[in-house]
């Protein structure tokens, strides 16, 4: 009888080969722990500040991530009708016109 080969399951809790855990997913921006009582307006402004800091540091991937978070809170404010003076941030993107 022929046995089927065992399937390999990925190891959990271990870093990828060749990457130290201290190097993974590190950002150049110091983050403040979020508070549940913050309004969408404050979160929007907070993520815009993070995005701008990442963009200045030359990390376009990190900046885009934070811009997407800010956009989420902007949409949240619009859908709930929360009064806001926030305007979408027109950040420069090299891959879009």
Domain ranges of the chain: 40-80
H helix runs in 1-97, sequence order: 40-56, 60-80
Q: How confident is the model at residue 16 (pLDDT cuts 50, 70, 90)?
A: low
Phi-psi region at 57: left, alpha or beta (left = phi > 0; alpha = psi -120 to 50): alpha
The pTM of this model reads: 0.50
pLDDT at 22: 56
For residue 34, pLDDT beyond 80: no
pLDDT at 97: 43
Of 42 and 7, the one with more pLDDT: 42
pLDDT at 64: 98
Give the span between the Cα atoms of 49 and 66, in whole angstroms: 9
**Residue 69 neighbours by CB under 8 Å, 6+ apart:** 43, 47, 50, 51
């Amino acid at each position: 009888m022929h046995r089927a080969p065992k399937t390999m399951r990925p190891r959990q809790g271990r870093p990828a080969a060749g990457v130290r855990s201290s190097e993974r997913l590190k950002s150049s921006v110091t983050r403040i722990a979020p508070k549940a009582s913050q309004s969408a307006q404050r979160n929007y402004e907070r993520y815009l500040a993070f995005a701008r800091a990442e963009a200045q540091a030359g990390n376009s991937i990190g900046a885009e991530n934070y811009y997407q978070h800010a956009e989420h809170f902007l949409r949240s404010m619009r859908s709930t009708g929360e009064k806001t003076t926030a305007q979408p941030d027109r950040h420069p993107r090299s891959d879009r016109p």
